[in-house]
Chains A and B, each alone.
Chain A
Amino acid sequence: MGALSDFDLAALIAAHGGRYLVETGAGKGDGVEEALRHDFLQVYAIESAHKLALDVALRHSENHKLTVIHARSEKGLREALEEMEPGLPAIFWLKDPQELRVLASLRDLSRDVFLIGFENGEAGLGEVLAKTHKIDASLAYPLKSSA
């Protein structure tokens, strides 16, 4: 599984104006730490393991730009989307391509950017977007290391 820090978030934000970052499977919060270095309106970290979610949440309890959601991905994404302005673009850092099905049913994704961590250790924009969800996958940003 790749890391959010593998991506050039600043470039993504500059190019596409991502105002939110939504991460599923936030784990110990490494992605959160990276996301909070950027000027998002709000960062949503979704984590189903209670202890992990609580650790991250308590570590950042004063930071109101971060919302940690203790829930499975689908429920957490629904909760995050309820708070997000539909018209503002978001960057989704997903750990399972299936989560796109949920997103596609809940939001117009045409202005959003998707980063998907794969189990094989790579991180990148999955071609799965174009293949299974008919979402424009032209936003294939290179990783920092290969940029």
Chain B
Amino acid sequence: MLTGLAVSTASGRVEGFDFRFSKGRLAADEMFDSATSPPARYVVELARRIGGASSADLLAIANPLLPLKAAQIAGWLKEGVREPMILASADGFPLVYCLPRALFAEIERFLLTLSAVDAELDQRLLEGLTGLSLPRRRMQGITIGPYPVSTPTGWFQGPARQGVLKVTTANAIKIVESRKDWRDLPVAAFHPYHAGSIIFFAMASRDVTAPLVTRQVVCSSYRDIVAASGLALDPVWLKLPFLPRDNSVGEPQYFAHSLNRLGESVLRDNFVVFMRYSRVSAISPFHMIDHDRFTLGESLTRPDQLRQLQPPLVTERCALPAAPLKVLFHATGGTSIKNYPLDYAKVAVRCLRGLGIEVSVIGRPDLEPFGAISIDADETDALTAAVRRHHIFVGLDSFPHHYVRSVMGWPTIGLFGATGAANFGGGWTPHYRAIDSALACHPCGAETGCPVFGTAECINYAKPEHLIAAILSMAEQVYGFVVE
């Protein structure tokens, strides 16, 4: 539960509020579930929601990492809470942050640097941010112990990741305690990779009304993607190759190297907040662009605010005559489980050619014998140019799909196998549809092979006949193209 109390100190009246992570309805007692939001982002959101529903002068916000309920923390505070303070477990884990309601709003963006895992650090940070003396009360009967590496509620905040959170808090403390102008400094999101995630973050940044974050730490090798995607945040270039996906380097380890690389001046001039994944994305039903919009500051309390339920920000289409129809296909995900199955691809290409439809495939000369033309498009400029020469783009859950669909707004069909169509595709429009075989195992998230059937390829990918039907349907809808 995501929980807090509104406390009227004069009357002693206490109102409890319990929220839960939304499964899609975004009801009044639900909160948007964002995988890229650090725990502190939920402290901010709880304060907004509870503060907005009450005129109380003090808010007691429970630690979002813990499955607490309002009645529980009211019981802990049964002696009454009249003043700002931090309630901590016996072993120093923050349980509840009590601050004046007005202050929560005033220091909102800096609250993103709360660790939510170390009460002593958070106390010092909050004292610096508020100028208040904040007592830290320990609940002697409550011990959190080692926080699990992953929780049933979707968090993965094991010891190494807690280290990341503590470092960002410590950096914020240094800034606040050493610079009088700290209120003027930006908050920078640490969200430096990978290419698809950069696209989602960029599109989100263009779609947030009042961002808490104005800068983004991003790998310099993505300069072309950042430029092409119209990132609305100020980039802070991280001159490191991106984190590999094979877990050969841990994300916390990479984060530590990143701080070395960014250097003292960047760390003194920016409140850096870790905004890579903190929660399991597949638990949330929402699209990653909306995850990132929430992370950047949008509250997203109603379904009609979701980007995936609204018209896309960008919509374009091919200027060429509708016939002959030209389809560009990106079928290679890097590993067999991510590739569109070879036999499916062969059939799809052969059938499309039989219908008089021209098919280009990115980097797949092995599909040329079946009628496709293999082209190179491994840089953003080349991809953009190639897409413009085709009516419809068909892509996997990877950068080309995300770029073509979201940044270019091109008619796109997303093929999903092991990963979640809801998170990375979603939101049907005339210009977009995501298809898969809707197997019960979806999304397994496998990286190397099928964990259910033991096959190298993913059988959840849509069969060629479904793909061809989707292409023909989109071609008719967008271009008025009908096979003769």
Residues of A within 8 A of B (CB): 50-51, 53-54, 57-58, 61-62, 64, 67-71, 75, 79
Closest to A82 in B: B223
B221 CB contact (under 8 Å) in A51, A58, A62, A71: A71
* Chain B 237-253 per-residue mask, 1 if CB under 8 angstroms from chain A, else 0: 00111101000110000
* Chain B 209-249 per-residue mask, 1 if CB under 8 angstroms from chain A, else 0: 00000000000110100000000000000011110100011
A12 to B214, CA, bound (A): 45
Contact A53 B220 (CB under 8 A): no
Q: Does B379 contact A (CB under 8 A)?
A: yes
A51 to B254, CA, bound (A): 13
How far in angstroms is the closest Cβ of chain B from A101? Answer: 18
Q: Please judge, given known A-B contacts A58-B249, A64-B263, whether A53 and B241 are in contact too, CB under 8 Å.
A: yes
Contact A61 B249 (CB under 8 A): no
Closest to B246 in A: A51
Contact A61 B221 (CB under 8 A): no
A144 to B228, CA, bound (A): 47
Contact A70 B249 (CB under 8 A): no
Contact B241 A61 (CB under 8 A): no
Closest to A54 in B: B241
A108 to B306, CA, bound (A): 52
Residues of A within 8 A of B257 (CB): 57-58, 61
Q: Please judge, given known A-B contacts A58-B249, A64-B263, A79-B220, whether A70 and B242 are in contact too, CB under 8 Å.
A: yes
Contact A61 B244 (CB under 8 A): no
Contact A50 B379 (CB under 8 A): no
Contact B240 A68 (CB under 8 A): yes
A70 to B248, CA, bound (A): 17
- Besides A57-B261, A62-B261, 8 more A-B contacts (Cβ < 8 Å) are A50-B244, A54-B244, A58-B257, A61-B258, A64-B263, A67-B239, A68-B239, A70-B221
Interface size class of B (residues with CB under 8 A): 10 to 19
Residues of B within 8 A of A (CB): 220-221, 223, 239-242, 244, 248-249, 254, 257-258, 260-261, 263, 379
Residues of B within 8 A of A79 (CB): 220, 223
How far in angstroms is the closest Cβ of chain A from B256? Answer: 8
A128 to B257, CA, bound (A): 40
Contact B379 A61 (CB under 8 A): no
9 contacts between A and B (CB under 8 A): A50-B241, A51-B244, A53-B241, A54-B240, A54-B241, A54-B244, A68-B240, A70-B242, A71-B221
A64 to B244, CA, bound (A): 22
A68 to B257, CA, bound (A): 13
How far in angstroms is the closest Cβ of chain A from B3? Answer: 40
Q: How many A-B residue pairs have CB under 8 A?
A: 42
A67 to B257, CA, bound (A): 13
A57 CB contact (under 8 Å) in B241, B263, B379: B241
Closest to A51 in B: B244
Contact A70 B261 (CB under 8 A): no
A62 CB contact (under 8 Å) in B241, B242, B260, B379: B260
Q: Please judge, given known A-B contacts A68-B239, A69-B221, whether A75 and B379 are in contact too, CB under 8 Å.
A: yes
A98 to B361, CA, bound (A): 28
How far in angstroms is the closest Cβ of chain A from B261? Answer: 5
Residues of A within 8 A of B242 (CB): 50, 70
Residues of A within 8 A of B249 (CB): 54, 58
How far in angstroms is the closest Cβ of chain B from A75? Answer: 7
A70 to B243, CA, bound (A): 12
How far in angstroms is the closest Cβ of chain B from A3? Answer: 23
A50 to B242, CA, bound (A): 8
How far in angstroms is the closest Cβ of chain B from A90? Answer: 18
Residues of A within 8 A of B241 (CB): 50, 53-54, 57, 68, 70
A79 to B239, CA, bound (A): 11
A58 to B257, CA, bound (A): 6
A68 to B248, CA, bound (A): 19
A61 CB contact (under 8 Å) in B220, B223, B240, B248: B240
How far in angstroms is the closest Cβ of chain A from B286? Answer: 30
A70 to B223, CA, bound (A): 12
Residues of B within 8 A of A58 (CB): 240, 249, 254, 257
Residues of A within 8 A of B223 (CB): 79
Q: What are the 7 A-B residue pairs with the smallest beta carbon separation, nearest first? A: A70-B241, A61-B257, A61-B260, A54-B241, A62-B260, A53-B241, A61-B261
A68 to B220, CA, bound (A): 10
Residues of A within 8 A of B261 (CB): 57, 61-62, 64
How far in angstroms is the closest Cβ of chain B from A85? Answer: 17
B240 CB contact (under 8 Å) in A51, A57, A71, A75: A57
A61 to B258, CA, bound (A): 7
Q: Which of B220, B239, B254, B263 gathers most chain A CB within 10 Å?
A: B239
Q: Which of B221, B248, B379 gathers most chain A CB within 10 Å?
A: B221
Residues of B within 8 A of A69 (CB): 220-221, 239
Residues of B within 8 A of A75 (CB): 379
How far in angstroms is the closest Cβ of chain B from A121? Answer: 29
A64 to B262, CA, bound (A): 9
How far in angstroms is the closest Cβ of chain B from A34? Answer: 20
A70 to B195, CA, bound (A): 14
